[in-house]
């Protein structure tokens, strides 16, 4: 998947708030939208190379969107919605190694007071699937979340209820970088999410992980990785 029609390179300078970054592009300082409101520890450091999508529009406050940050020898995506787009593309191509046999799927499915990323139709059941983008990686271990997530806990509780009713429930953790070898819950940041993720696993919710291949202009799902709790 390509990031956009026009991508420019810059140098990350500062993050004034969760949604803005100051970046030097072609010798000038510009403001860019940061699509990931998480803390992104270890990534947003002054002087690092960055890549941005140039997409001006009448309703936009900035003309640029920050999409990649250089981390050592790799590029890391800071665009969480790409995770859903990558999973959707894989579902269309029947390319996910751990979900097989569904006849069709729908996205953004509303159930009661919640909305789930995907609903898959199997011959004898439905499966509800949530996708989580993992940005924090330490020594090859992805840790989710990097900020407390009440919404994430709510979805886990509901997936447990689905499993108890005979449906299938799954969470796919997508780390948008190539150096992730496994994924775990970040108990230091959100112990409640970690507690419910373990409960969900024990109640039959399926947990999967993928890392990504990231180039200066594209991103794609790469390899399945272990979920280690």
Query: For 112-162, what is each residue's pLDDT tens digit?
Result: 778 999 999 999 899 999 999 998 899 999 999 988 999 999 999 999 999
In this predicted structure, what is the pLDDT of residue 41?
78
Asked whether the beta carbons of 66 and 32 are under 8 A apart, the reply is: yes
In this predicted structure, what is the pLDDT of residue 88?
97
Structure tokens at 135: 């940005």
CATH number given to 7-73: 2.40.50.580
The sign one gets for the Cα dihedral 174, 211, 143, 193 is: positive
Q: What CATH number does domain 81-227 carry, 3.40.605.10, 1.20.1250.20, 3.40.1350.60, 3.40.50.300? A: 3.40.1350.60
In this predicted structure, what is the pLDDT of residue 215?
96
In this predicted structure, what is the pLDDT of residue 153?
96
Peptide bond into 145 cis (omega under 30): yes
Q: Exposed, middle or buried by CB within 10 Å (0-12, 13-18, 19+), for 172?
A: buried
H or E element at residue 23: strand 20-25
Give Cβ neighbours of residue 62 (< 8 Å, ≥ 6 apart): 20, 30, 31, 32, 33
Structure tokens at 146: 């990097």
In this predicted structure, what is the pLDDT of residue 145?
93
In this predicted structure, what is the pLDDT of residue 98?
94
Bridge partner residues of 52 (DSSP): 8, 66
CATH 3.40.1350.60-classified regions of the chain: 81-227
Asked whether the beta carbons of 125 and 37 are under 8 A apart, the reply is: no
Q: Is the pTM of this model over 0.75?
A: yes
H or E element at residue 53: strand 49-54
> Which residues of the chain have a pLDDT value below 70?
none
CATH 2.40.50.580-classified regions of the chain: 7-73
């Amino acid at each position: 998947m390509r990031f956009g029609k026009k991508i420019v390179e810059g140098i990350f300078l500062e993050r004034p708030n969760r949604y803005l970054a100051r970046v030097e592009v072609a010798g000038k300082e510009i403001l860019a939208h940061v699509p990931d409101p998480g803390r992104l520890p270890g990534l947003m450091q002054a002087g690092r190379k960055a890549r941005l999508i140039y997409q001006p529009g009448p309703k936009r406050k900035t003309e640029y969107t920050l999409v990649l940050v250089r981390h050592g020898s790799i590029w890391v995506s800071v665009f969480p919605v790409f995770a859903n787009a990558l999973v959707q593309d894989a579902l269309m191509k029947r390319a996910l190694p751990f979900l097989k046999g569904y006849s069709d799927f729908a996205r953004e499915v509303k159930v009661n007071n919640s909305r789930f990323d995907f609903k898959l139709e199997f011959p004898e059941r439905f499966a509800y699937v949530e996708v989580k983008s993992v940005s924090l990686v330490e020594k090859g271990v992805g840790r989710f979340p990097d900020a407390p997530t009440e919404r994430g806990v709510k979805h886990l509780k509901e997936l447990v209820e689905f499993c108890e009713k005979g449906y299938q429930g799954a969470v796919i953790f997508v780390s948008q970088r190539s150096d992730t070898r496994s994924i775990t819950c970040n108990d230091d940041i959100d112990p409640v999410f970690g507690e419910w993720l373990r409960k969900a696993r024990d109640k039959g919710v399926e947990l999967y992980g993928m890392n990504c291949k990231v180039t200066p202009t594209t991103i794609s799902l790469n390899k399945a990785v272990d979920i280690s709790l």
